[in-house]
Amino acid sequence: MTAAPPPPSNTINQLISVLPDELNFPFELEKQSFCDLKIVNNTEHYVAFKVKTTSPKKYFVRPNTGVVLPGDSCVIRVTLQAQREYPPDMQCKDKFLLQSTIVAPNTDVDDLPQDTFNKESGRALEECKLRVVYVSPATAQGNLDDESTRSSMRGPDGNSNQALQRLKEERDVAVRQTQQLQQELDLIRRRRYRKGDPGFSFTFAIFVGLIGIMVGLLFNLLSSSPTT
């Protein structure tokens, strides 16, 4: 594998953009909740990323490691596992760390060396720290109601435009998730062929089913999108 090019001197904290800048979870006992992070590659290089947290048993991150192509983006879903008790004053001290670094062109996530995200390796790493905020269901619903009220005040045209924008955003998310599932499916295939075992597996069947579901969702969104 060819060596990764060094990052330009003006790319400090500029390899990727992360939205939003904090993780907000509607918190209810015995219920899971999730928050999506969108990362955007701001460079002309391949950029690898890794997500770490101070409480790995509480959260499920998918994908937690990946490679973003130049100018492309990736959606990371962080799921908060069901909790049995409320935190004191609904305050959360959990933190997330998103590391990123430039890698060689055409690098696949399966090709990343084990020390890719170790500072001792000498590789230039950028880090983005994200805090966790727990939101009560009533507050989350109140935010939705406020947005609905603002939408109604904009009139029919505003509502139509907002509905169209929502559909487009949902369609884009479905497209990205379908692409991620396809990439993971291709990765599983490559790993199996490398091991000399091209047989069919239950995990393989699960990914095929998930891709079918996402394609169906995408089809429904495209079919229901109003014409512009």
79: containing domain: 16-135
| Residue whose entry in the numeric block shows the structure tokens 């990439």 | 183
Q: Has residue 171 been placed in a domain?
A: no
Q: What is the pLDDT of residues 81-110, one digit of tens each?
A: 999 999 998 899 999 999 999 999 999 999
What is the percent of the chain with per-residue pLDDT over 70, rounded to a whole number?
Answer: 64
CATH of the domain at 113: 2.60.40.10
Q: Has residue 227 been placed in a domain?
A: no
Q: What is the pLDDT of residues 33-76, one digit of tens each?
A: 999 999 999 999 999 999 999 999 999 999 999 999 999 999 99
Q: What is the DSSP string of 29-75?
A: BT--EEEEEEEEE-SSSEEEEEEEES-TTTEEEESSEEEE-TT-EEE
∠ CA 205-209-214, rounded to 5°: 150
Higher pLDDT, 139 or 122: 122
Into how many domains does the chain fold?
1
Full-model pTM: 0.60
Higher pLDDT, 210 or 223: 210
Q: Has residue 25 been placed in a domain?
A: yes
